[in-house]
Every structure is written in C-alpha cells, then in structure tokens.
Amino acid sequence: MKYIYKIRLTFFLILTIIFTIQSFIKPQTNKNSFLVRVLLEEKNSLKKTFFKIEAEKGIILTSPHSNKKFFTKQDKIKIFIEDNNIYIPLLNKKSNQIKIKKIKSKELKITSINDFIKINNNTYQGNLKFKIEEKNNNYLIINTLSLEDYVYYVLPSEIYPSWPEEMRKVQAVVSRSYALYYINQVKKNKNNQRPYDLKRNNFHQTYNGFHEYYYLKKAIEDTKDMILIYNGQIALTMFDACCGGIVTSKMSNINFSKAPYLARDYTCNFCKNYKLYKWKKIIPETIFLNILKNDQKFKNKFKNCGKLKKVYVAKKDKSGITQKIRIVFSKKIISISGNDLWESMKNKIKSLSFQIKKSGNKIIIEGKGFGHQIGLCQRGARLLVDWGWKFKNILKFYYPNTKFARLKHA
Ligand SMILES: [Zn+2]
C-alpha cells in the first residue's frame, strides 16, 4: 500500500482513464503464423525501474494467470518494477484517483490495438511480456511477434540495408531458418523451458525492433516461409561477417555430426578484399595484462606472475583456429585457450584464427576473418551476388547438402 499516491501526481494527471476491458477488444495477431519470442532485456528486479509504455490507439494490459485485462484509452502509461513486483497505474472509478496495482502473478502482457508498442522510445511489433524471475531477482522483457515480421526487423541489423536484393534474400532465408532452429530447440528441451527463443544481440541475431526500411519487405515476401533443412530437420544456419578463408571441415574442436552442412570442405576466399579478411591489432602490454587480470574467468591466475617475457600460440588446429596460447612470465608459465582469450578481448581479437607475440612492450595480434567463421560468410556472399549468383546457389555453397523447404501453416 505504501506505493499508493507515492508516484508523482503530475504524471498521472496526464495519464489516462483506465477501465476494465470487456472481452470485445482483442489484439491483432495472426494465429496461423509462427511466433518468435525475443528477449529484449534481463535486469535486476529489486531496484525501482520505470518503463514508459506508448501505443497510438490505446494499451491493453493483461495479467496472464488471472486473465484480467485492463484497457487504457490513453496512449501513454508508466509502469514500474521494484522488489520483485510489477506495478501498474489503475483508475479507481469510485474515488476517481489513480491507484497503483501490484500484479500478483508477477507477469504482465502488454498488447495494443494497432499491434505496435513503444517502450522507452523503442518500438516493437507484436506484444510485450514482463516477467519476474524471483529466484534470480531478475525481470525479463520478451517481445513476441510473427516469424516473418521478425525476419524483416532483423534484416537491416544483420546486413547493410543498401545491399542488393539477392543478398537480402540470402540473409532472409538464413535468419528465418536460424530463428526457427532455436524455436524448435526450446520446444524440444523439456528440462529447460526458458520463456524466450532468442536473445536480441549477436549471441543469436541482432534485433532492434521497428525500422523504416520498408523496401526490405520484398525480400521477405519473395522468400516467404522458405527455410533450409537437412535430413528433414531445420538447419542451424550460422553466419558471420567474414570467414577469413577458413575451411570449417578441418576445425577440430567442433562436432559437426549433427550439422555436417556446417563442415564446408572447400574455401570461400571471396571475402579476401574485405578489410577484416586479414587484420592486425597492437595492444600495450599493460592493457593486455590488465584485461587478463581483471577477467573473472581466469580467477587469480594472472596475479603475482612477475614480468611478462613472451606470448605465443602453442597449438593450432588444421583449419588455423588458435587452440592454445602460452604466456611466459618470470615467475610462471600460464596456458589459456584461444577461445578464452578471444572472449576476453572480442573488441580487439576479431576471430579465433590468430597469431600473437610480444614485441618490446607491445602485444601484436594478427588474424584472419571476423566472427566464428562458420556457415555463411556474408562478405563472400556479397561478392558472389555481384558475380551474378542467385540466392539459392549461394546458400547451397555455404550450407552444402541442405535443401529448401516451405513452412506449413496450421
Ligand atoms: Zn569468406
């Protein structure tokens, strides 16, 4: 009760008349389409955090467990989270005052009449769900929208929107298959029923919601429902910016048995004119050591080592992926994996295929490619489009032995 009246009245005076919705208002959703749930945010749910929610023709708030709906004619409301609870403003008709209601189920679904919702100045299609995860003291914000819309919104974040139509089609099929692969994975995994399918960043695919590159719709429509499959299963269509000429089938640290279409046994090299096909980074020794010392995953491995003498790659696999790095100090010698170093310095080390050495008080890292170097090489594909290749041939080149399939709607 202490929250009642606590929030500045100035805000609520411009707020809305909210009344309980009758069942006649329903959000526009296409029941026949595949839906994607994207995690937009995951943060601490103990401290007080406000969210500005806007929707042009009114906002519908639903508490999923009680199935209670509240409709606001206003186009703006402010909700907040604090101490593992979600609070929404509601108008008490009798007293004509705004009261703050605590959502008992700790889940709140937000939909709108025209299917677009703005949250803290970012607009999304579909609906938003707030969910408190008490055991982690976290709140999640999840955006659910149709798969086709999702692919359209992902496109300008994953390729340049100015890239040619054929390249947009390549990425549309890749992004659609990739999303569907994870939707299926989450469904299949009964032990870990996470409430979303994909993260919004490059952990999965970069998704920034609404954009105005309407012309990108054509690539989505021209490839509508098209995905890549292997052995009747949705292919995991991994992709990155530049393969650096790596032959993935020679990688020794990846088990390709479930996804042999990712083990390409021929080079791309069409990306060799891209600036990150070969790259070089020079880092002062002090910065290099500070990163290692402060990285939690190395714990205290890098404390009290003495002077840095030498850094070198101790092991590479046949594809050229750096597997082990040896760091020689005056007091001890430390080995770390190439992957661990890459994860610590992703803004400096562009791929897992690199050499490293110490020269004076500098660390010199030279490598090839940008990203994990598996699957579609976007820069390579971009050149093939210039050479007149069609999107289906490009996809067959980068995902050997996969087939095209169309999604069937219920
Ligand atoms: Zn390439």
Predicted confidence at residue 32, as pLDDT, reads: 54
Q: Which residues pair with 312 in a beta bridge?
A: 326
Looking at residue 39, what is its pLDDT? 98
Give me the pLDDT at residue 202, please.
Answer: 86
Ligand 1 centroid from CA 295, angstroms: 31
- For 310-329, give the DSSP string: EEEEEEE-TT--EEEEEEEE
Phi-psi region of 317 (alpha: psi -120 to 50; beta: other; left: phi over 0): beta
Residue 104: the pLDDT is 86
Give residue 325 CA to ligand 1 midpoint distance, Å.
25
Q: How far is the CA of 269 from the centre of ligand 1 (A)?
A: 5
What pLDDT, on a 0 to 100 scale, did the predictor assign at position 105? Answer: 86
The pLDDT value recorded for residue 316 is: 96
CA of 268 to the centre of ligand 1 (A): 5
Q: Give the Å distance between the CA of 221 and the centre of ligand 1.
A: 27
**Is residue 237 within 8 Å of residue 228, measured between CB atoms?**
yes
Contacts of 318 by beta carbon, 8 Å cutoff, 6+ apart = 250, 251, 252
Interval between CA 397 and ligand 1 midpoint (Å)? 11
Distance in Å, CA 184 to ligand 1 centroid: 29
CA of 300 to the centre of ligand 1 (A): 38
pLDDT at 293: 92
Task: State the distance from the centre of ligand 1 to the C-alpha of 1, rounded, in angstroms.
Answer: 60
**Cα–ligand 1 centroid distance for 384 (angstroms):** 10
Taking the alpha carbons at both ends of the chain, their separation in whole angstroms is 47
pTM attached to this predicted model = 0.87
Distance 272 CA to ligand 1 centre (A): 7
Distance CA 148, CA 328 (A): 52
| Spatial distance between the Cα atoms of 273 and 48, rounded to a whole number of angstroms | 50
* pLDDT by 10-residue block (mean), the chain, 410 residues: 35 32 32 85 97 91 77 83 93 80 91 93 96 96 97 97 98 98 91 90 93 97 97 96 96 92 96 96 95 90 92 96 96 95 91 96 96 95 98 98 91
